Amino acid sequence: MNLILLGYGKMGKAIEQIALRRGHTIAARIDTAAERDQLPKGAGDVAIEFTQPDAAVDNIRYCLRNGIPVVSGTTGWLQHRPEIEQLCQEQQGAFFYASNYSIGVNLFFRLNRSLARLMNAYPEYQVEMEEIHHTQKKDAPSGTGITLAEGLMAELDRKTGWVEGPTNDPALIPILSKRIDPVPGTHTVAYRSAIDDIEIKHTAHSREGFATGAVVAAEWLLGKQGAFGMDDLLG
């Protein structure tokens, strides 16, 4: 498979290493909109997009309008997701998005919801979250943190939203975001009561898990049509 890398920072370089190890080739390494717009027709089979929130939407639009299946891992732009999924449908394209491509994190998402279902019957436990990333990460809370919060809201009747930082509103889930180098990603969900605490935690040791998942998603997306996510890939 011939891959286009939209974004050639630390994640782009990690994805390149994994892709080459899995027998793929790199058609282009793109860091600017000008470079992207000079791509020749048919330059690659799939694009993998890890950039910044302000660039992601234009990158995804470009790919869909030019018939390039696109896997995106950029977070912080999801207010535009309905528009992107509509464009994908209109263009009969292929789009894959996940807030986190690590298989371990996606298992953690499922564990989070399972625990929340159990905890729904015990309102004496207050839930809170913490996420820690490197200082280069621009958005806060992280996309992974928001996905975890959405999982909690789906299962806990007493929670209707989330907020970054502490809160006294019992209907909101507080998410504490920290930026500490060189942490690739740590997420903790904690239930606290006057008697005891229950915590689940995922700690990434490197970017390799994220990069591997993105390449696997690109392999899976090739030849498909529609908008997909990790639940589709994992089954």
34 is an annotated ligand-binding site residue: no
- For residues 140-161, give the mean pLDDT: 96
Residue 92 and residue 90: Cα distance in Å, rounded? 6
pLDDT of residue 206: 87
Residues 6 or more apart in contact with residue 71 via CB below 8 angstroms? 46, 47, 48, 49, 96, 97, 214, 217, 218, 221
Of 99-103, 154-158, 174-178, 210-214, the one with minimum mean pLDDT is 99-103
- For residues 205-222, give the mean pLDDT: 94
pLDDT per position as a tens digit, 4-56: 999 999 899 999 999 999 999 999 999 999 999 999 888 899 999 999 999 99
pLDDT of residue 139: 84
pLDDT band at 235 (very low <50, low <70, confident <90, very high): confident
pLDDT of residue 223: 96
144 is an annotated ligand-binding site residue: yes
134 is an annotated ligand-binding site residue: yes
pLDDT value at 138 more than 90: no
Whole-model pTM: value is: 0.81
pLDDT of residue 75: 87
Tell me the domains of the chain and their CATH numbers. Answer: 2-101+208-234 (3.40.50.720), 103-203 (3.30.360.10)
Give the active site residues: 133, 137
pLDDT value at 136 more than 90: no
98 is an annotated ligand-binding site residue: yes
pLDDT value at 105 more than 80: yes
pLDDT of residue 42: 84
Q: Distances from the Cα of 229 to the Cαs of 36, 120, 137, 199, in angstroms? A: 24, 27, 22, 27
pLDDT per position as a tens digit, 66-90: 999 999 999 889 999 999 999 999 9
pLDDT greater at residue 139 or residue 7: 7
Of 94-98, 118-122, 137-141, 181-185, the one with minimum mean pLDDT is 137-141
pLDDT of residue 217: 97
pLDDT of residue 40: 87
The two tokens of residue 49 are 């997009």
83 is an annotated ligand-binding site residue: no
Provide the terminal-to-terminal Cα distance of the chain, rounded to the nearest Å.
23
- For residues 157-177, give the mean pLDDT: 97
Antiparallel, parallel or unpaired: β 172-179 and 126-133: parallel
pLDDT value at 134 more than 80: yes
Peptide bond into 182 cis (omega under 30): yes
Residue 165 and residue 64: Cα distance in Å, rounded? 36
